[in-house]
Structure 1
Amino acid sequence: MKRLTLKVKLREKTGKGYARKLRREGMIPAILYGSHLKESVPLELEKKELKDIISHRSPREQILNLDIVNQKANRKPEVIVKSAQRNWLRGGIQHIDFLEITRGEKLTTTVSFSFVGKTQGEKIGGIVEHLVREVEVECLPRDIPAVIEVDVSSLDIGDSLKVKDVKVPPQVKVLTHLEETVVTVVAPPPEEEAVAEEEKEEGVPAEEVELVDEKKEKEEEETEKKES
């Protein structure tokens, strides 16, 4: 696969005020980290530079080259996207952390789960609860998975999958605690609770409905006595 190159600039200033100014101008603030760097490097890049990496592939498993156009040294570090901060209200990415990599050296990153299939429990009214959606892993940069698939199709009500049950490539080491529950299928609420919940949603408490019914029964009994 062709290696992508991003054009970035050394950032002149840091701080929230300058970062907001960059975003208004169509730029994205970023930071370059790396175990071999004496200190982190503040960067900035144009939004359009991201269109090739924000695709169906996970940005965190793509190895990129950074072309730092205003640096003195002619160096194009190899990096991955360690994290991307999004603005969920306005949409789009508002900050990126790059991690410089070294060939042959393992790194630590997170990989998202992709849940596959419909559980057996869902088919009979069960409720699926996703408790963990990503794991921390250690591997070589070239071995970072785009996602880790989790097949849930065999799970019935009361069943669950833990981190240790998830299949990962042999070259990938999972660092997240293996006993953490990833997904579980729980029973639906009892029918009585469901009815009470429906009555509550309609604005009439279940107890009040029962009292009204009892009052109605007494009135009917008294009417029958008078008629007899």
Structure 2
Amino acid sequence: MTVKMTAKTRETSNKGSALTELRSKGEVPGVVYGYKTETTSVTVAEIELIKTLRESGRNGVINLDIDGKTTNVVLSDYQMDALKGSFKHVDFLAINMSDELEVATTVHLTGESVGEKEGGFVTQPNREVTIRVKPSDIPDALEIDISKLEIGDTITVGDVRGTVSYEILDEDDFILVSATAPRTQEELDELETVSEEGAEPEVVGSEDSEENKEA
């Protein structure tokens, strides 16, 4: 699916104040680079960007109009403001529609597993896979039916590789979903004890506040 979006060229500035002013006006600074394209600094309206991504999906092809010149691109990378939930910066990769791309696609589970009905739990160790595919054939997601998944079962890339029309680049033993047995009473008691002791959660990451993509 290809959708249209407009962008405007902008002067490159390393001043945070200039970028802050842009964002205050509802504009998102970004850059376009790639196939037969000179690296170009642009801005896009955030409301239009959000609307476009809702229509095309994370990996959809965008027909980007930059000051009247159109280029087929995909969203290569982006930065979000963790507090405001808004876009800080976007990277668009210009593409050749005839060439295959390496992109990440979401793993989407369908159905209710046998293991869940028996009181077990379904876990998803990996929620994305990397695929190689032509831009026009990029899927919205890799859909996996888990209705026959029993306790102790796992589904790996090797199990689904032959069911899709594109190439999955992850290894065969890359686990996508598994069904585990219900917790024992001993495990539940241990979890309750930890909770009552008020263990502090571990901080595993934080938002980088520095502007590291201002080109």
For the aligned pair, the TM-score class normalised by the smaller chain equals 0.7 to 0.9
SS in 2 for 1:55: helix
Aligned to 2:32: 32
Separation of aligned partners in 1, 2:169 and 2:62: 24
Aligned to 1:169: 164
Instruction: Determine which of 107, 110, 132 is the counterpart of 2:101.
Output: 107
Q: Tell me the percent identity.
A: 31
SS in 2 for 1:115: strand
State the one-letter code of the partner of 1:89.
Answer: L
The runs of 5 or more residues in structure 2 that have no matched partner are: 198-215
SS in 2 for 1:82: strand
1:10–1:162 CA distance, 2 compared to 1 (3 A):
same
State the one-letter code of the partner of 2:100.
Answer: K
State the one-letter code of the partner of 2:31.
Answer: I
Q: What is the TM-score with the length of structure 2 in the denominator?
A: 0.78
Contact 2:111–2:145, Cα closer than 8 Å, also in 1: yes
Q: Using CA pairs below 8 Å that are at least 6 residues apart, which structure has the higher relative contact order?
A: 2
- Please show how residues 56-75 of structure 1 align to structure 2 within 5 Å: 57-61=56-60, 63-69=61-67, 75=69
SS in 2 for 1:85: strand
Instruction: Determine which of 77, 91, 99 is the counterpart of 1:83.
Output: 77
Describe the superposition over 1:133-160 as per-residue Cα deviations: whole angstroms up to 9, x where unpaired. 1111111110100111011111111111
Q: How far did residue 57 of structure 1 move?
A: 4.4
Describe the superposition over 1:13-44 as per-residue Cα deviations: whole angstroms up to 9, x where unpaired. 2447143332122111122121444x532211
Contact 1:107–1:141, Cα closer than 8 Å, also in 2: yes
Aligned to 1:210: none
Aligned to 1:54: 53
Separation of aligned partners in 2, 1:199 and 1:141: 51
Describe the superposition over 1:188-213 as per-residue Cα deviations: whole angstroms up to 9, x where unpaired. 2222332454466567xxxxxxxxxx
Describe the superposition over 1:103-161 as per-residue Cα deviations: whole angstroms up to 9, x where unpaired. 31111111111111122111222122211111111111101001110111111111111
1:187–1:97 CA distance, 2 compared to 1 (3 A):
same
When you count helix as a share of all residues, which structure comes out higher? 1
When you count strand as a share of all residues, which structure comes out higher? 2
Aligned to 1:221: none
1:24–1:100 CA distance, 2 compared to 1 (3 A):
same
Q: How far did residue 164 of structure 1 move?
A: 1.8
State the one-letter code of the partner of 1:113.
Answer: V
Contact 1:29–1:45, Cα closer than 8 Å, also in 2: yes
Instruction: Name segments (4+ residues, structure 1) moved above 6 Å.
Output: none
1:12 aligns with 2:11: yes
Aligned to 2:154: 160
Please tell me the root mean square deviation across aligned C-alpha atoms, in Å: 2.4
Q: How far did residue 88 of structure 1 move?
A: 4.4
Alignment: residue pair count: 195
Greater CA drift, 16-25 or 120-129: 16-25
1:109–1:202 CA distance, 2 compared to 1 (3 A):
closer
Which has the larger Rg? 1
1:201–1:133 CA distance, 2 compared to 1 (3 A):
closer
The runs of 5 or more residues in structure 1 that have no matched partner are: 204-228
